[in-house]
Structure 1
Amino acid sequence: MSNKSLKRELGLGSAVMLGLGSMVGAGVFVSLGLGAGLVGPAVLAAIVLAGGLAMCNGMSSAQLAAYHPVAGGTYEYGHRVGWPALGTVAGFMFLVAKSASCATAALGLAGYVLHRFDAPQLMIPGALAVIVMLTVMVLEGIRRTNTINTIVVTITLIGLAVFVLGGIGKVDGENFSPWIYVEGGDLINVNHASWPNFAYATALMFVAYTGYGRIATMGEEIKEPRKSIPRAIVATVMVCIVVYTSVAAVGIGLVSAEGFTLLSESGAPLEAIVENVGLPVWIGWAVTIAAVTAMLGVILNLILGLSRVALAMGRRGHLPKLFVKIDDAGTTPGPAVILVALIVAGLACLGSIKAAWSLSAVTVLVYYAITNASALRLPPEARLYPRMFSWMGLLGCLGLSVFVEPIYWAFAGGVILAALVWHVISTKNNPPAE
Structure 2
Amino acid sequence: MGTPARAGQGPLERRLGLSDAVVIGLGSMIGAGIFAALSPAARAAGSGLLLGLAAAAVVAYCNATSSARLAARYPASGGTYVYGRERLGDFWGYLAGWAFVVGKIASCAAMALTVGSYVWPEQAHAVAAAAVVALTAVNYAGIHKSAWLTRFIVGVVLAVLAAVVVAGLTSGAADTGRLDVGADATAGGVLQAAGLLFFAFAGYARIATLGEEVRDPTRTIPRAIPLALGLTLVVYAAVAVSALAVLGGAALGDAAAPLAAVVREAGHPGLAPVVRAGAALAATGSLLALILGVSRTTLAMARDRHLPHALAAVHPRFAVPHRAELAVGAVVAILAATADLRGAIGFSSFGVLVYYAVANAGAWTLGRDEGRPPRAVPAVGLAGCLILAFALPLSSVVSGAAVLAAGAAVYALRRAVT
Tell whether the structures are fold-level matches, with TM greater than 0.5.
Answer: yes
Give yes or no for the alignment of 1:61 onto 2:75. Answer: no
Deviation of the 1:201 alpha carbon: 0.7
1:127 aligned partner:
128
- Matched to 1:104, the amino acid is A
1:43 aligned partner:
49
- SS for the counterpart of 1:24 is helix
2:217 aligned partner:
225
2:19 aligned partner:
13
| Alpha-carbon separation, structure 2, partners of 1:35 and 1:12 | 31
1:184 aligned partner:
none
2:330 aligned partner:
342
1:166 aligned partner:
167
Q: Which moved more, 1:361-370 or 1:287-296?
A: 287-296
| Alpha-carbon separation, structure 2, partners of 1:235 and 1:70 | 20
1:269 aligned partner:
258
Would you say the 8 A contact 1:26–1:104 is kept in 2?
A: no
- Matched to 2:262, the amino acid is I
- SS for the counterpart of 2:170 is helix
2:140 aligned partner:
139
Return the match for 1:368 from 344, 351, 356: 356
Would you say the 8 A contact 1:11–1:228 is kept in 2?
A: yes
2:4 aligned partner:
none
Give yes or no for the alignment of 1:393 onto 2:396. Answer: no
- SS for the counterpart of 1:326 is coil
| Alpha-carbon separation, structure 1, partners of 2:119 and 2:179 | 30
| Alpha-carbon separation, structure 2, partners of 1:109 and 1:129 | 10
1:15-44 residue CA offsets vs partner (Å, 9 max, x unmatched): 111110111112111211111111112111
Closer, same or farther: CA 157–37 of 1 in aligned 2, 3 Å = same
**TM-score, structure 2 as length reference:** 0.93
Would you say the 8 A contact 1:167–1:279 is kept in 2?
A: no
Deviation of the 1:280 alpha carbon: 4.8
1:290-321 residue CA offsets vs partner (Å, 9 max, x unmatched): 22221111100110110000000100011111
| Alpha-carbon separation, structure 2, partners of 1:215 and 1:42 | 30
| Alpha-carbon separation, structure 2, partners of 1:81 and 1:365 | 18
Would you say the 8 A contact 1:71–1:220 is kept in 2?
A: yes
2:238 aligned partner:
246
| Alpha-carbon separation, structure 2, partners of 1:385 and 1:21 | 26
Deviation of the 1:107 alpha carbon: 1.9
Stretches of structure 1 that go unaligned for 5 or more consecutive residues are 115-119, 180-188
Give yes or no for the alignment of 1:90 onto 2:96. Answer: yes
Deviation of the 1:202 alpha carbon: 0.6
C-alpha RMSD of the superposition: 1.7
Give yes or no for the alignment of 1:405 onto 2:408. Answer: no
The number of residues matched between the two structures is 409
| Alpha-carbon separation, structure 2, partners of 1:29 and 1:256 | 17
| Alpha-carbon separation, structure 2, partners of 1:255 and 1:127 | 30
- Matched to 1:279, the amino acid is H
Q: Which moved more, 1:360-369 or 1:403-412?
A: 403-412
Would you say the 8 A contact 1:318–1:422 is kept in 2?
A: no
Note the 1:23-38 alignment, pairs <5 A. Answer: 23-38=29-44
Closer, same or farther: CA 80–274 of 1 in aligned 2, 3 Å = same
2:286 aligned partner:
298
Note the 1:94-243 alignment, pairs <5 A. Answer: 94-114=100-120, 120-170=121-171, 171-177=174-180, 189=183, 191=184, 193-243=185-235
Would you say the 8 A contact 1:156–1:289 is kept in 2?
A: no
Return the match for 2:340 from 328, 351, 354: 351
Return the match for 2:313 from 325, 329, 341: 325
| Alpha-carbon separation, structure 2, partners of 1:262 and 1:425 | 45
Return the match for 1:418 from 384, 406, 410: 406
Would you say the 8 A contact 1:204–1:358 is kept in 2?
A: yes
- SS for the counterpart of 1:223 is coil
- Matched to 2:201, the amino acid is Y
Return the match for 2:82 from 70, 76, 86: 76
Stretches of structure 2 that go unaligned for 5 or more consecutive residues are 1-6
Closer, same or farther: CA 316–411 of 1 in aligned 2, 3 Å = same
| Alpha-carbon separation, structure 2, partners of 1:317 and 1:100 | 23
| Alpha-carbon separation, structure 2, partners of 1:241 and 1:82 | 31
Would you say the 8 A contact 1:112–1:292 is kept in 2?
A: yes
Would you say the 8 A contact 1:312–1:324 is kept in 2?
A: yes
Deviation of the 1:178 alpha carbon: 5.6
Deviation of the 1:352 alpha carbon: 4.0
| Alpha-carbon separation, structure 1, partners of 2:322 and 2:341 | 29
Q: Percent identity?
A: 35
